[in-house]
Amino acid sequence: MCQRSSSSCVEVPKMPSAIKEVTVQLPQSHNRPDQPWHHYLSIDIIWYVLGYTLFHPFVSWVVVLCLRAQYTAYGAPEMRIAVAWSILMSAIGIFGIISEQIAFGSPREVDLAEEVIVITGGVEGLGGLLAETYGMRNANIAVLDTKKVDPDEAEEKGVVYYQCDVADAKQVEAAAAKIVEELGAPTILINNAGIVHKKSILDTSIEEVEQTFRVNTLSHFITLRTFLPHMLRESRGTIVTVSSVLGHLGAANLSAYTASKAALLALHHSLRAELAQIPEATEIKTILVTPGQMSTKMFADVEPPNTFFAPTATPADLGKSIIRLIERGESGEVAIPLYSQYIGFFTMLPTGVQQLVRRWSGLDTAVGKVSSRRKDSGEKK
């Protein structure tokens, strides 16, 4: 087709006869109930704002400079308070930097083009978000999951999926061999796979307990034994252990889940201790993730005990923190929401106070009441 003007003839390319239709399902806000403004207010938001204002060393010293700009005398009470507060905030900040340096050491260099990332349980939830994020950045990303993903969808996301039961050592070893052959030696392992049975101890079958521990705990041992040797040979790596704050607390009707997550806390610290004794593991970093309740399918039917003090964590918030530590080449801990970071103080309280806090928070009633099961005592009536 040629369009003529007074001085030139421009060839217009032919348009394809059929245009590919892409179906997009946008979130419908009208399906969500309207909430008052204070419903979205939480202690996490307040703490976040304070962290960048009142509790920030730089801002504290800016206040001191502002006072001096107004010719406030050094001996004035407001100047003394401002200087003392600035010194305190600076000391806390310096102490935190030194503490992390002692605990986690220097960061390693991370180049995503040279890293091979393995994520267990990476089809949905937090793992799915991490996989898709790295897939969009053209990283070498492999996902181990029992769920099957359509090849076209996998290619579109830029993720290589391996249908695999991470609780089966032979399946993991077979998948690892394919990963090494197709992508290279794994250097970043994100152990994220997990399941939950929301039942009381009496209602949970032995098969369900075994399944929970195999997926939530045993799989970590299997993947570590499979992928850690590759990291040692490469003399670099990052291992992410996704546990839960409930591993510290326990909760009614979640006994198998909380016990399996508590085991991961001990496993993480044992892993760090063992890596510290291996010369080749100097550049292998470890990250412990202990989130509170997340807005995923696993706990979609569970109401948070208190939306102000215990808001629901989003996979995006957790994923952002995990990715930041991985790409900085740092070890560390990710605990969201805020109370997850200070759960250690709860365990230091007197047992009576702990019990009152549990009752007040609604921790043990969030998953429903324990269903009583009457067992045959064998007595004659």
Same domain, 48 and 134: no
Q: How many domains is the chain partitioned into structurally?
A: 2
List the single range of 26-40, 94-108, 169-183 with lowest mean pLDDT.
Answer: 26-40
User: pLDDT for 135-169, tens place per residue?
Assistant: 999 999 999 999 999 999 999 999 999 999 999 99
Picking from 57, 80, 102, the residue at the C-terminal end of a domain is: 102
Same domain, 117 and 98: no
Q: Has residue 152 been placed in a domain?
A: yes
Picking from 102, 125, 141, the residue at the C-terminal end of a domain is: 102
User: pLDDT for 221-267, tens place per residue?
Assistant: 999 999 999 999 999 999 999 999 999 999 999 999 999 999 999 99
Q: Which domain holds residue 61?
A: 44-102
Whether the Cβ atoms of residue 335 and residue 321 lie closer than 8 Å to each other: no
pLDDT at 87 over 60: yes
Same domain, 346 and 241: yes
CA dist., res. 266 & res. 273, Å (int): 11
Name the DSSP class of 143: E
Q: Has residue 246 been placed in a domain?
A: yes
Q: Has residue 30 been placed in a domain?
A: no
Same domain, 134 and 49: no
Higher-pLDDT residue of 343, 380: 343
Residue with tokens 């992390």: 100
Residues 6+ apart with CB under 8 A from 108: 236, 238, 283, 285, 329
Same domain, 96 and 220: no
Same domain, 71 and 153: no
Whether the Cβ atoms of residue 215 and residue 167 lie closer than 8 Å to each other: yes
Q: Has residue 138 been placed in a domain?
A: yes
Q: Has residue 3 been placed in a domain?
A: no
Q: How confident is the model at residue 373 (pLDDT cuts 50, 70, 90)?
A: very low
Q: Has residue 121 been placed in a domain?
A: yes
CA dist., res. 298 & res. 130, Å (int): 17
pLDDT at 213 over 50: yes
Higher-pLDDT residue of 372, 322: 322
CA dist., res. 259 & res. 251, Å (int): 10
Q: What average pLDDT does this structure show over 16-34?
A: 48
Same domain, 285 and 330: yes
CA dist., res. 117 & res. 247, Å (int): 26
In sequence order, what E strands does the chain have? 2-4, 9-11, 116-120, 140-145, 160-163, 188-191, 237-242, 284-289, 332-334
Picking from 102, 134, 150, the residue at the C-terminal end of a domain is: 102
Same domain, 126 and 70: no
Same domain, 120 and 95: no
Q: What is the CATH number of the domain that holds 261?
A: 3.40.50.720
Q: Has residue 2 been placed in a domain?
A: no
Same domain, 116 and 96: no
% of the chain exceeding 90 in pLDDT: 73
User: pLDDT for 290-338, tens place per residue?
Assistant: 998 888 888 877 777 778 888 888 899 999 999 999 999 999 999 999 9
What string of DSSP letters covers 169-183?
Answer: HHHHHHHHHHHHHHT
Same domain, 77 and 201: no
pLDDT at 33 over 60: no
User: pLDDT for 100-148, tens place per residue?
Assistant: 999 999 999 999 999 999 999 999 999 999 999 999 999 999 999 999 9
- Print the SS3 string covering 299-363: HCCCCCCCCCCCCCECHHHHHHHHHHHHHHCCCEEECCCHHHHCHHHHHHCCHHHHHHHHHHHCH
Same domain, 177 and 98: no
Instruction: Name residue 334's beta-bridge partners.
Output: 289
Higher-pLDDT residue of 209, 37: 209
Q: Has residue 16 been placed in a domain?
A: no
